[in-house]
A and B are shown apart, each in its own frame.
Chain A
């Protein structure tokens, strides 16, 4: 007959056995499990994306790029026997929600975290993940307050470093005065407006009119009218999403025929609604399908089209690049330990690599540097300009 003491011993023994098994297999711990001496069988990555809300447009495209990269990395056995697994969470473009998700990620010991793509949410997660020393890679978020320590990376070139190519194009058109309409809700776009004002004189022009609009404004007619009334030689649009198409149409209706430049977001379908009214608009981009970025870029475009029956936009290309960057760092590190993965990322970025965004791309102090391409809207498509050095 079993006495109570025997029963408790049995339970305790079973508990120890289960505990040992759990520790040895790493059950429930992301990134754990064995596949040999170093990398675990499954490496868990986490991505905080803006699937809904104002950043949804970017977040969903990022997700496609990441998904494609994960599938290809696993298929090609880039990490040997280890497989990448990615979990997505939607912060709905809300900083508080993003912070919540980052807090969960910080304690879940993911090998790396990707996103969010817009500055307001990226700035909310950066302090949390940087304090926890979680290797984190932002894609599009260009505002300040994200690269807080050497665990933070941004694998999209800053628009402020690419936009001078567009200014040079304006200079080649002998533009003397520029009017700027910018969306003051997003730090990246506000920064671009300020940069045009600060750097214009270097390229022979002066910004004579700066008008802000808000992300919640759908109808920006009054801002366009104000800008047109200053009779500029050229117009600079630093707007978000649908505002680009609205502005392009209203500028055309207003009879303006001078050069127009816009920010990189124009390339992600924002000008589709304007149709022919947007013809001729130019912007500097880190990537556009069909531009000469090398064989890796061409292959990515083909594979994306095969997977999704659609031409990729730069957001997907940036997220795809980010995932491969992380995978190569994991391979070099040979472990999912945060410090080692981070060191491998730093080394990878310093060395430079050939990727979708160019044949030699570097990451300096967490910030990607890559040569931009001048793109023009022509009959419903974003096309790399023939003359890249105007």
Chain B
């Protein structure tokens, strides 16, 4: 029973982290590898406020601060890197590759800042205002922060999926994903929507950063980069561009990892988990929630 709880919580962690990546990749064709650095730096900012400055901020406040930091970072990335690249690139493929490389370079800056300040030590967000309690359900236990992670992940995924499907900007993003040129002719502003998508991605990364920092007790400057591979796997497994697919992919990946850890020595966790992804992709190359190529969002 406890392992089921662990798998659900782990899957929710992956969801929170991966959803932003999935959205930008699926709608803008941008594989933003700075996403991990944004996640980490949002948590790092909260660490600086609570540990270095000594501010006593409740968890809700920290979440909003982290979301704001994440949003600003992603917006800056769009304004100073992605937008100029899109203007200068001759083809869409060239732009996508250049943005991918630019995101790798951009990730180094916040990671280095955090590394310098923390001297590479793990950092944590602790504050008198953050308390966590545990609940026992039979033989299983779950803490308040774990419940919060699951709840926030589910609510966020549902809200994002509905937003993409039903809202005007959401429909605009889906149109951009299908045909950029025609969308432009229809009056859809690529620049504005690109910025909006990245801001939303940054908000989710920020929230994920704080929740995971509190749940795991500490992060390091490289924690975001470690999670990127898992997020990438969850997105590919679920189907690029599908929010629901990312959610399912995250929980399937988490379930596989938990099962392997619980039944083997644990060394095989990554190998078996990623082998599972290969098997799924061999059967369904576009992922579990594959759609026709014309409609990725």
Q: Are B120 and A218 within 8 A (Cβ)? A: no
> Would B222 and A54 count as touching, CB distance under 8 A?
yes
Q: Assess the B122–A52 pair: CB atoms within 8 A.
A: no
Q: List 26 A-B contacts (CB under 8 A).
A: A51-B120, A53-B222, A56-B220, A56-B222, A57-B120, A60-B119, A64-B119, A211-B266, A213-B261, A214-B270, A216-B229, A218-B219, A219-B10, A219-B215, A221-B10, A222-B7, A222-B258, A229-B2, A242-B216, A242-B223, A245-B122, A246-B217, A270-B122, A272-B121, A272-B124, A277-B217
A245 x B124 contact (CB < 8 A): yes
A219–B119 CA distance with the chains assembled, in angstroms: 23
Tell which of A53, A222, A245, A275 has the most Cβ of chain B within 10 Å: A222
B119 and A245 contact, CB distance less than 8 A: no
Given A184-B266, A214-B270: A221 and B124 interface contact (C-beta under 8 Å): no
Mark contacts of A266-281 with chain B using CB atoms, 8 A cut-off: 1 yes-contact digit, 0 otherwise: 0011101111010000
Collect the chain B residues with CB atoms within 8 Å of residue A34's CB: none
**Cβ B261 vs Cβ A272 within 8 A:** no
Q: A51-B120, A61-B119, A214-B270 are in contact. Are A223 and B126 (CB under 8 A)?
A: no
Q: Scoring B residues 239 to 273 as 1 if CB is less than 8 Å from chain A, else 0, what string do you get? A: 00000000000000000011001100111011000
The binding surface of chain B is classed by DSSP as helix
Interface size in chain A (residues, C-beta < 8 A): 45
**What's the Cα separation between A173 and B258 when bound, in Å?**
32
Residue of A nearest to B265 (CB): A212
**Contact count A vs B, C-beta below 8 Å:** 129
Contact with B along A34-62 (1 / 0, CB 8 A): 00000000000000000111101111110
Q: A-B pairs with the 3 shortest C-beta distances?
A: A273-B218, A273-B124, A273-B217
With A225-B3, A269-B121, A272-B122 known as contacts, the answer to whether A241 contacts B220 (CB < 8 A) is yes
Mask for A158-188, Cβ within 8 A of B = 1, else 0? Answer: 0000000000000000000000000010000
Indicate whether B71 reaches chain A with its CB closer than 8 angstroms.
no
Q: Is A226 an interface residue (CB 8 A)?
A: yes
Smallest Cβ-Cβ distance to B9: which chain A residue: A221
Residues of A within 8 A of B227 (CB): 218
Asked whether, in the complex, the Cβ of B119 is within 8 Å of the Cβ of A223, the reply is no
Determine whether B13 belongs to the interface, using a CB cutoff of 8 Å to chain A.
yes
Judge whether B115 is part of the interface by a CB distance below 8 angstroms: yes
A255 is an interface residue with CB less than 8 A from chain B: yes
Closest residue of A by beta carbon distance from B134: A253
Q: A56-B220, A225-B2, A246-B218 are in contact. List 8 more A-B contacts (CB 8 A).
A: A57-B120, A60-B120, A210-B265, A212-B265, A212-B267, A219-B6, A222-B261, A242-B216
Cβ contacts under 8 Å, A273 to chain B: 122-124, 126, 216-218
Q: Report the minimum CB–CB distance from A296 to chain B (whole Å).
A: 24
Kindly state the separation between the CA atoms of A226 and B134 in the bound complex, as whole angstroms.
19
**Chain A residues, CB < 8 A from B258:** 222
Residues of B contacting A184 in the complex (Cβ-Cβ under 8 angstroms): 266-267
Interface string of B111-129 (1 = CB under 8 A from A): 1100100011111101000
| Contact B126–A242 (Cβ < 8 Å) | no
Chain B nearest CB from A208 CB (Å) reads: 14
Contact B120 A225 (CB under 8 A): no
**Minimum Cβ distance to chain B for residue A216 (Å):** 5
Number of B residues contacting the other chain (C-beta, 8 Å)? 42
Q: Is the CB of B122 within 8 A of A56?
A: no
* In contact, A218 and B119 (Cβ under 8 angstroms): no
Contact A253–B141 (Cβ < 8 Å): yes
Q: Judge whether B265 and A269 touch: CB under 8 Å.
A: no
Whether A211 contacts B261 by the Cβ 8 Å rule is: yes
Contacts of B10 in A (CB 8 A): 219, 221-222
| Measured CA separation A185–B295 after assembly (Å) | 41
CA distance A213 to B143 in the complex (A): 22
A170 to chain B, nearest CB (A): 22
Q: Are B265 and A274 in contact (CB under 8 A)?
A: no
Contact of B226 among A51, A216, A274 (CB under 8 A): A216
CA distance A96 to B210 in the complex (A): 34
Known: A242-B122, A242-B218, A246-B218. A253 touches B143 (CB 8 A): yes
A272-B262 contact in complex given A219-B9, A222-B10, C-beta closer than 8 Å: no
Q: What residues on B are CB-neighbors of A5 within 8 Å? A: none
Give chain A interface residues in 254-296, CB to chain B under 8 Å: 254-255, 268-270, 272-275, 277
Scan B1-42; emit 1 where CB is below 8 A from any A CB, else 0: 011001101100100000000000000000000000000000
Residues on the A chain within 8 Å of B267, using CB? 184, 212, 214
B112 engages A52 (CB within 8 Å): yes
Contact A57 B266 (CB under 8 A): no
- Residue of A222, A225, A226, A272 near B218 (CB, 8 A) is A272
In whole Å, how far is A213's beta carbon from the nearest beta carbon of chain B?
6
Contacts of A107 in B (CB 8 A): none
Please determine whether B270 and A216 come into contact, CB atoms closer than 8 angstroms.
yes
* B221 CB-CB contact with A under 8 Å: yes
Which A residues lie within 8 Å of B223 (CB)? Answer: 218, 242
* B27, chain A: closest CB distance, angstroms: 27
Contacts A210-B265, A275-B126 given; does A245 touch B217 at CB 8 Å: yes
A277→B132 CA distance, assembly (Å): 12
- What are the residues of chain B within 8 A of A241 when measuring CB–CB? 122, 220
